[in-house]
Amino acid sequence: MRCSLVRTTVMLGLAASVLNVVPTPGAAEPVNQQEGAMAIQEKDKEAVKGLVLAYADAWNARAPEQLTRLFAPEGEFINIFGGWGRSRDEVVANHRQVLTTAMRASRLEVVSTEVRFLAPDVAVHHADWRLSGAIGPAGAPLPEILGRQTGVAQRHDGRWVFQAVQNTTVVGPQPAAR
């Protein structure tokens, strides 16, 4: 009888352990797993924000070739005038053209960026920006332009790249940074 009771107790203990009813020594707590996932997501959020800042750095350096590392080969970009680059090569070429003409003396400042994940490796971002120093068709300086960039970034080969980006001019007051 005693042997049967010990065997039943051991079996119930094993069953509870397998079903995760009773925590087993060394097993990760669900809270710790959530905290770990949140830390990873925060790191990825900062990486996507860094991608947006790297775009502004390339713009301000008048270095469209730097965009090559920021966009996926099939990455797309729509500018504030509706111009559409349908591949990374077109995006770079379009930026090369604009950065040597009307935007040759401009400065792009990212005011704020928000990131939301659609999947662990896919994020959408919204970035408010301000552009100064643009030159109009007649050669006169244009007033400061306020805008909003919306984009989809994807983790590709371990790093974040733009899949699609669209810039829109904001008419009226721009919301305060969050």
In a domain, 144, yes or no: yes
**Beta-carbon-side half-sphere exposure of residue 51 (alpha carbons within 13 Å):** 33
Count of domains forming the chain: 1
Q: Which two tokens stand for residue 154?
A: 């994807």
Specify the 3-state DSSP secondary structure of 43: helix
In a domain, 9, yes or no: no
Q: How many CB atoms lie within 10 A of CB 20?
A: 10
Domain extent at residue 85? 31-169
| 125 contacts 93 by C-beta, under 8 angstroms | no
In a domain, 68, yes or no: yes
* Positions of E strands within the chain: 71-78, 84-85, 107-119, 122-132, 145-156, 159-169
- Looking up residue 55, the CATH number of its domain turns out to be 3.10.450.50
State the Cα–Cα distance between residues 87 and 118, nearest whole angstrom. 22
In a domain, 46, yes or no: yes
**Per-residue model confidence as pLDDT tens for the chain (178 residues):** 544 433 433 333 433 333 343 444 444 545 577 777 777 799 999 999 999 999 999 999 999 999 999 999 999 999 999 999 999 999 999 999 999 999 999 999 999 999 999 999 999 999 999 999 999 989 999 999 999 999 999 999 999 999 999 999 999 775 565 5
In a domain, 75, yes or no: yes
| 134 contacts 143 by C-beta, under 8 angstroms | no
Instruction: Tell me the pLDDT tens digit for each residue of 120-149.
Output: 999 999 999 999 999 998 999 999 999 999
Instruction: Tell me the pLDDT tens digit for each residue of 42-61.
Output: 999 999 999 999 999 999 99
In a domain, 163, yes or no: yes
In a domain, 15, yes or no: no
In a domain, 137, yes or no: yes
